[in-house]
Chains A and B, each alone.
Chain A
Amino acid sequence: MTSAWYRLAEVSNNIIDQCVAQGVPFAREYGGLLANRSFGGAQVSRTFYAKGQTGQQLLLGAYSSLNRMIHAGKVKSYNRYEMHDVVIIDGSYNRYEMHDVVIIDGRARGIIAKNLVTGKLERFAAHAVVIATGGYGNTYFLSTNAMGCNCSAAMACYRHGAYFANPAYVQIHPTCIPVHGDKQSKLTLMSESLRNDGRIWVPKSIEDAKKLQAGQIKGSDIPEEERDYYLERRYPAFGNLVPRDVASRAAKERCDKGFGVNNTGKAVFLDFSEAINRLGIDVIRQRYGNLFDMYEEITDVNPGELANEINGVKYYNPMMIYPAIHYTMGGIWVDYELQTSIKGLFAIGECNFSDHGANRLGASALMQGLADGYFVLPYTIQNYLSDQITVPHFTTDTKEFDEAEKRVQANLDHMMAIHGKRSVDSIHKELGNVMWDYVGMARTKESLETALKKLKELRKEFETNLFIPGTQEGMNIELDKAFRLRDFITMGELIAYDALNRHESCGGHFREEHQTEEGEAKRDDENFFYVACWKYNGDDETAPTLIKEPLHYEAIKVQTRNYKS
Chain B
Amino acid sequence: MADLDSINVEPFLKRYDIVMESKESPQDIASRMYPAEPALRKVAEDIVFLKNKNIEADVQAALSEFSPNEVIDGGLLRGIEIVSEIYDRGIYYLPHVMVAADGFDKGIKVAEKALAGERQVKGTVVMHAAEGDPHDIGKNIAAVLLKSNGYGVIDLGRDVAVDDVVKTVLDKRPDVLTGTALMTTTMSAFPRVAEKLQENGMELPFICAGGAVNRGYVESFPMGIYADKAAEGPRLVAKSMEGWDWRKIRENWDKLIRGEKGEE
Partners in one complex: no
* B binding-site residues for A, Cβ under 8 Å: none
* A binding-site residues for B, Cβ under 8 Å: none
